[in-house]
Structure 1
């Protein structure tokens, strides 16, 4: 069985590989899920669905069963531009997700080929541009970026270990703490605290890809200890850090820049 690969870019993340069993998670970002070899079985809100491509909003808890087959799981940009781009290409499904992209055939083909060719992260990003990640120059109907939320995201990203209070963050954009909480969740789908934890997972993964130990990466990213990291990782991604990030012949973590000049 080929290795699993985690590609890390500034605003997006892609995992391609084999999970082997059912996983339950609640991601901190809007998520595109692909069954590269067969349908993925999805349990959400007590109902079961199956599809080759699925689009799930941030913060929704669901259980995915890849049936032992290869999958790709793409975590999209925090401001929701990617999400709007994809939802217009897919079919709405109760109780609150989308499936069956009109680009599905091309998406699956490019994902499988990019993975087989063992390209680096930026080469893979280039292959997937416009199929998964709309270019910054592409107009996405209905997307109205909120500069205040972009500013909050940038503050969190610039110092992930800092536990800014809502009031501290709100003062940077001229809002009350309570108002910022509402506006942030409306824009991203998740509370500020959950986005901070999500970004800390990204920082931890990046550091481990460069050789840091789990403990050092966890502390630098702002987790209280490696146990705290493991708990958050399991809750958000449905697996332990070692299962996704463990350095072995079966796991690769590749870091790239994404689209040049792109803003959060």
Structure 2
């Protein structure tokens, strides 16, 4: 079966990108077949609407109101005319306690729709609050163990990663700056931030590129200023993270309000 072209040219809505997780609420989402590192929660926000999901290129299209997809599950989403919530979170941060493909029941659908209602126009802080309300509906299964405050060495490393771009710092350089061994630094970073340091560094580069694109830079300019070798490298990385191309979000036909939020997992879960 021939693959169709990506149809996300008319994408519209609100996109919130946090380290290790994203939240999208909007209309017009249609992806090619892809698989990514994150788990995905897909939900139709209108009871009368469903979205299409394919798991095999030659397989059937199934219609759903809400599903959860495990990490690495190859799929294609067809939500062109469906108002949807898409939540993605990397497994290092949180694992949904269910099989690779979970079809939501009515209770889960109603609860999630209630939590997400009224998010339109809100900023990062409110989006983060809704995120934790949503995952609280499912039994927690997380590897992170947030503490009261972020270790100042890790806070400094986060800032160093952003400030150094387009230079890409190695784990060894970051560990030296923090005064820790590489092993201890990587362990502490993942424990406090929720995702591995290399994954965070990729997210920081993507954030930088996104800001450049929002300011009207070309793909090539944005890629180089964010530390990617070229625009093709950046586009591949963007699609691996989000399942769609940069032009779907930042292209002339797109109408997406993108929020790139710096709050990390640990900071938002303080007691």
Same fold (TM over 0.5): yes
How far off its partner does 1:67 sit?
5.4
| Other-structure match for 2:6 | none
How far off its partner does 1:222 sit?
1.5
Distance change (3 Å), C-alpha of 1:182 and 1:202: same
Distance 2:263 2:175 in 1: 29
Is structure 2 residue 13 aligned with structure 1 residue 5?
yes
Is structure 2 residue 74 aligned with structure 1 residue 62?
yes
Match of 2:256 among 239, 249, 252: 252
Aligned-residue Cα RMSD (Å) equals 4.6
Please list, as runs of the form range in 1=range in 2, the aligned pairs for 1:1-264 lying within 5 A after superposition: 3-8=11-16, 10-11=18-19, 12-15=21-24, 16-27=26-37, 29=38, 31-36=40-45, 37-38=49-50, 41=53, 43=55, 52-54=66-68, 56-57=70-71, 60-66=72-78, 68-70=80-82, 71-76=84-89, 80=93, 83=94, 87=96, 92-93=98-99, 96=100, 100=104, 103-109=108-114, 111=116, 114-115=119-120, 119-122=121-124, 125=127, 128=130, 130-132=132-134, 143-145=144-146, 150-151=154-155, 152-171=157-176, 172=178, 174-176=180-182, 192-248=197-253, 250-255=254-259, 263=267
How far off its partner does 1:246 sit?
1.0
**CA deviation vs aligned residue, 1:61-120 (integer Å, no higher than 9, x gap):** 53132354533322448972xx36xx3xxx511xx46663865313235546545xxx25
Distance 1:257 1:166 in 2: 23
Q: Which region of structure 1 is more displaced relative to structure 2, 213-222 or 69-78?
A: 69-78
Aligned length: 241
Q: Is the 8 A contact 1:25 1:236 kept in 2?
A: no
Distance 1:130 1:191 in 2: 20
Helix, strand or coil for the counterpart of 1:212? coil
How far off its partner does 1:52 sit?
0.3
Distance 1:77 1:220 in 2: 26
Distance change (3 Å), C-alpha of 1:189 and 1:100: farther
Distance 1:166 1:66 in 2: 39
- Unaligned runs of 5+ residues in structure 2 are 1-8
Q: Is the 8 A contact 1:35 1:53 kept in 2?
A: no
Larger radius of gyration between Structure 1 and Structure 2: 2
